[in-house]
Amino acid sequence: MNKTIDVARYEYLHHVANKRFWLSLIGVPLGFILIFVASMVLSFLSFDTRPVGIVDNANLIQIEPDNTQKSTIFDTQIHLYVYPDESAARAAASADEIQGFAVIPEDYASRFELTYWTNKQPGNDVQSAIANFISRNLMVAENIDSAVLKRVNEGSAVSLQSLDGSQTSDGTGWHRIIVPVVIGMLNFIVVMSSGGYLLKALVEEKENRTIEIMLTSVPSREIMAGKIVGNLGVGLTQIAAWIILLGIAGFLFRDRLGFLADINLSGSYLAISVALMILSFLFTAALMATIGAAMTSTEESQGIIGLMVLPMMFPFYFFTVFLNSPNGILARVLSFIPLSAPLALSLRMAFSSVSPLEIAGVFVVIISFSLLMFWLAGVVFKRGMLQYSKRLSLKEIFSKETRNA
Amino acid sequence: MSTIIVDKIAKSFGATQAVKDVSFEVRPGEIFGLLGPNGSGKTTSIRIILDIYQPDSGSVTILDGPMTNDKLNHIGYIPEERGLYQDVPLDRCLTYLATLKGLTEEQIKERLPKYLAKFDLTDHAKKKSKELSKGMQQKAQLIAALIHDPEIIIIDEPFSALDPVNTQLVKDLLLEQRNAGKTIVMCTHQMNQVEQLCDRLVLIDHGQVLLQGELSEIRDRFRTNEVIIDALNPLPEQINGVSKIEQLNDAYRLTPQEGLSAHDLLNQLVAQGIELNSFEVAVPTLDEIFIRVVKEGNGFHE
């Protein structure tokens, strides 16, 4: 047991002290931030935030447009200018002072149709700015109370509840998607980075022949356990560092992130997600150890990692299937496959109600697969790690000699 | 009581029988040679002794019992396929390997600088292993095998790729360890080194023991009545009492006729007026014994 700790400590410190770890620790969130900022800036720049003109031929306008709020990168505001007639609005449009103008016809009250003059397709923000402005004026004309007016503009809050009462959601939807996606991405990063470190460490020890000295100092199961614990620690350190960074960012930008308060994560949801993530890592670690012991070089093993990414990403590929049919056959099957289970079950639990019995079944299946993979890793490890120049074939892996090695 | 007892071990990989009914004993405080051509089963035998492989049959007793985790701390091993963590500074690499052999941080801090100094590696302690020469890496391996003061040292091909200076250093080190009471198993096919260092040996080929015993006793067993002479003048084609004359580089190997002793042959040579610089009874080299035994594939067991 002591040597397991020694191996784990070495693996952990070896990777954490490495420049690659810090580059990845800083580079991944920085990359996400850069992509996010770039997409926000591009999106902001692509929006036409110039004002829009209104020509009221129906004498509908009772209140002036509210042009006090300014556009930001997070929230575009389209200001509305009221013009006395169509020719004035057209002149302003020609002078590029406005991007277009809406003409409210005299018979608007009976037909509810208007014409928008422009040389380019207006965005949704333009259409909703005009529609909201007209609605407010129509309601003022009917003497509707301003509080009611505000409620109508805000719309209704829909709350969703599963039939058995186990799942609730406020129905606004966006965080129902974002939370499992974030959990899936974190799981993917932890499993792939930690598993990748583990695979690299094993293949390198085989390439540089240190494994033979290791095996005459530490029993193979303690080597394996130490490497898994050490590399899982590396992955969890990454996640912890990112969570701390997110926390700092959240604190610094707390005024702009009020919408995060909508996220209401249950303790059981988080516990199940984290437990699945760790189980998935253990399975992947054993799988990587098996591959590492059977392969002869780092390059060879990299190709196999590429193949492992596919099943992990299946729930992302079939995202709409999960959204529309979270308890369908495909979603259920992917919940029972160790590599795809963390994301699949996380998505299903977010979009629907998954019975405790089924969740327990997923755990039983993944634990069984993990134990099987650990057994296989153990037998392949002893035989394959000392076969330096030749890849262990599938036939050799399952041979009697390998089991007895 | 022997330090290592290998009793009829057998191991096969698929259709290949790597080791078959191999038995030998290694006694305390001796340098034991485990010899054999490439692919003869030496490394498999070593890995079975070290409990890396389980034998299909037979058993190994080491330090009075089967291998345990604790006993691993009493063994220093240098495999044939040498290796160190290439991207790690030498001192960190050796510290880690010493930790795995059960040394505490304090013990490592006390011993490592001494070993680095002994092997002239102090100035290279902070360098990554890949920046060291092959000879330096070999010496670092020796430190890894010795730093925990093991009772048993198992060293596979100790002299491969070493220059003469480092070869002598390793030889001196092995003798020093033997004199300190350590048991050493040396696995090699360099017979001249075995002749200089080993007390006893076992010769394996095709996974089977062909020969084993004490070095002097094996030599006696393969001794013939041939003599090597250094004559002042060229020898005549025929010499009385000699059945065969073979010219070596600067000497002759003479095979006496049946029943003629070396002493009688010397008298015959002097009587025939052959002037000699030297006259010695030919002792077969281990190389010659090795080649002969392996070629014949006969069992010359103890």
What's the CA gap between A403 and A384, in Å, rounded?
11
Q: How many residues are listed for chain A in this entry? A: 405
How close is the nearest chain B Cα to the Cα of A199, in Å? 15
What's the CA gap between B117 and B93, in Å, rounded?
16
User: Cβ of A6 and B99 within 8 Å?
Assistant: yes
What's the CA gap between A284 and A311, in Å, rounded?
12
A2-46: pLDDT as tens digits:
789 999 999 999 888 888 888 888 888 788 889 888 887 887 777
Q: Assess contact for A357 and A335: CB atoms under 8 A.
A: no
Residues whose CB falls within 8 Å of the CB of residue B223, separated by 6 or more in sequence, listed in order: B281, B283, B284
Is residue A169 helix, strand or coil? strand
Task: Tell me: pLDDT of A59 over 80.
Answer: yes
Task: Tell me: pLDDT of A255 over 50.
Answer: yes
Per DSSP, the residues of A64-86 read: -----PPP-SS-----EEEESSH
Task: Tell me: pLDDT of A294 over 60.
Answer: yes
B56, B86, B144 ranked by CB distance to A213: nearest: B144
> What is the model's pLDDT at position A219?
85
Asked if the interface predicted TM-score (ipTM) of this complex is over 0.90, the answer is no
Task: Tell me: pLDDT of B108 over 90.
Answer: yes
Question: What are the chain A neighbours of B77 within 8 Å (beta carbons)?
Answer: 212-213, 216
Report the relative pairing of strands B75-78 and B152-156 from DSSP bridges: parallel
Is residue A179 helix, strand or coil? helix
> What is the model's pLDDT at position B22?
94
> What is the model's pLDDT at position B92?
93
Tell me the pLDDT band of A359, cut-offs 50, 70 and 90.
very high
Q: Assess contact for B147 and B101: CB atoms under 8 A.
A: yes
The residue that leads in pLDDT, B112 or B215, is B112
How close is the nearest chain A Cα to the Cα of B59, in Å? 14
What's the CA gap between B95 and B123, in Å, rounded?
16
What's the CA gap between A6 and B29, in Å, rounded?
32
Determine the residue of chain B that is closest to A10 in CA distance: B96
Question: What are the chain B neighbours of A389 within 8 Å (beta carbons)?
Answer: none
Q: Assess contact for B263 and B230: CB atoms under 8 A.
A: no
Alpha-carbon dihedral angle through residues B54, B57, B58, B60, given to the nearest 10 degrees: 0
User: Cβ of B88 and A14 within 8 Å?
Assistant: yes
Q: Which of A212, A379, A392, A405 is nearest to B12 (CA)?
A: A405
User: Cβ of A386 and B52 within 8 Å?
Assistant: yes
Task: Tell me: pLDDT of A376 over 50.
Answer: yes
**Among B100, B104, B132, the residue to mutate for chain A (most A Cβ within 10 A):** B100
Could you tell me which residues are beta bridge partners of residue B184?
Answer: B31, B153
B53, B56, B83 ranked by CB distance to A209: nearest: B83
**Among B16, B52, B77, B82, the residue to mutate for chain A (most A Cβ within 10 A):** B52
Q: Assess contact for A110 and A71: CB atoms under 8 A.
A: no
User: Is residue B50 within 8 angstroms of chain A, CB to CB?
Assistant: yes
Tell me the pLDDT band of A265, cut-offs 50, 70 and 90.
low
A143 CB-contact burial (10 Å; exposed 0-12 / middle 13-18 / buried 19+): exposed
The residue that leads in pLDDT, A190 or A167, is A190
How close is the nearest chain B Cα to the Cα of A405, in Å? 5
The residue that leads in pLDDT, A112 or B122, is B122
User: Is residue B161 within 8 angstroms of chain A, CB to CB?
Assistant: no
Angle, CA B20 vertex, CA A400 and CA B290 arms, to 5°: 140
Question: What are the chain A neighbours of B99 within 8 Å (beta carbons)?
Answer: 6, 10
Task: Tell me: pLDDT of A263 over 80.
Answer: no
Per DSSP, the residues of A267-279 read: HHHHHHHHHHHHH
Tell me the pLDDT band of A175, cut-offs 50, 70 and 90.
low
> What is the model's pLDDT at position A80?
92
Amino acid at the residue B73 = N
B84, B96, B97 ranked by CB distance to A208: nearest: B84
> What is the model's pLDDT at position B296?
74
How close is the nearest chain B Cα to the Cα of A306, in Å? 25
Question: What are the chain B neighbours of A213 within 8 Å (beta carbons)?
Answer: 77, 79, 83, 97, 144
User: Cβ of B82 and A209 within 8 Å?
Assistant: yes
> What is the model's pLDDT at position B299?
45
B35-93: pLDDT as tens digits:
988 888 998 999 999 988 889 999 999 999 999 988 999 999 988 777 788 888 999 99
User: Cβ of B83 and A208 within 8 Å?
Assistant: yes
- Alpha carbon distances (Å) from A270 to A179, A180, A264, A342, B259: 10, 10, 11, 11, 95
CA A383 to chain centre: 40
How close is the nearest chain A Cα to the Cα of B47, in Å? 9
Place of tokens 């290796």: B83
The whole-number average pLDDT for the span A177-199 is 77
How close is the nearest chain B Cα to the Cα of A217, in Å? 6
User: Cβ of B83 and A210 within 8 Å?
Assistant: yes
What's the CA gap between B120 and B131, in Å, rounded?
15
> What is the model's pLDDT at position A211?
84
User: Cβ of B69 and A219 within 8 Å?
Assistant: yes
Task: Tell me: pLDDT of A113 over 70.
Answer: yes
What's the CA gap between A218 and A115, in Å, rounded?
81
As given in the structure block, the two tokens for residue A289 are 């150890």
> What is the model's pLDDT at position A162?
57
Amino acid at the residue B29 = G
Angle, CA A159 vertex, CA A354 and CA A134 arms, to 5°: 140
Per DSSP, the residues of A370-385 read: HHHHHHHHHHHHHHHT
The whole-number average pLDDT for the span A212-227 is 86
Summary mean pLDDT of chain A: 80
Determine the residue of chain B that is closest to A203 in CA distance: B85
Task: Tell me: pLDDT of B101 over 90.
Answer: yes
Determine the residue of chain B that is closest to A208 in CA distance: B83
Q: Assess contact for B209 and B19: CB atoms under 8 A.
A: no
How close is the nearest chain A Cα to the Cα of B261, in Å? 53
Is residue A101 helix, strand or coil? strand
> What is the model's pLDDT at position A389?
59
> What is the model's pLDDT at position B300?
44
Task: Tell me: pLDDT of A275 over 90.
Answer: no
As given in the structure block, the two tokens for residue A298 are 């780092």
Chain B 119-148, residues with CB within 8 Å of chain A CB atoms: 144
The whole-number average pLDDT for the span A146-159 is 70
- Beta-strand ranges (E) seen in A283-375 are none
**Helix (H), strand (E), coil (C) string for chain B:** CCCEEEEEEEEEECCEEEEEEEEEEECCCCEEEEECCCCCCHHHHHHHHCCCCCCCEEEEEECCCCCCHHHHCCEEEECCCCCCCCCCEHHHHHHHHHHHCCCCHHHHHHHHHHHHHHCCCHHHCCCEHHHCCHHHHHHHHHHHHHCCCCCEEEEECCCCCCCHHHHHHHHHHHHHHHHCCCEEEEEECCHHHHHHHCCEEEEEECCEEEEEEEHHHHHHHCCCCCEEEEECCCCCCCCCCEEEEEECCCCEEEEECCCCCHHHHHHHHHHCCCCEEEEEECCCCHHHHHHHHHHHCCCECC
Q: How many CA atoms lie within 13 A of A232 on its CB side?
A: 18
**Among A213, A298, A395, the residue to mutate for chain B (most B Cβ within 10 A):** A213
Place of tokens 């009587």: B271
> What is the model's pLDDT at position B243?
85
> What is the model's pLDDT at position A166?
53
Place of tokens 């990454």: A238
B248-294: pLDDT as tens digits:
878 888 888 888 888 888 888 888 888 888 888 887 788 888 888 87
How close is the nearest chain B Cα to the Cα of A237, in Å? 22
The whole-number average pLDDT for the span A172-185 is 69
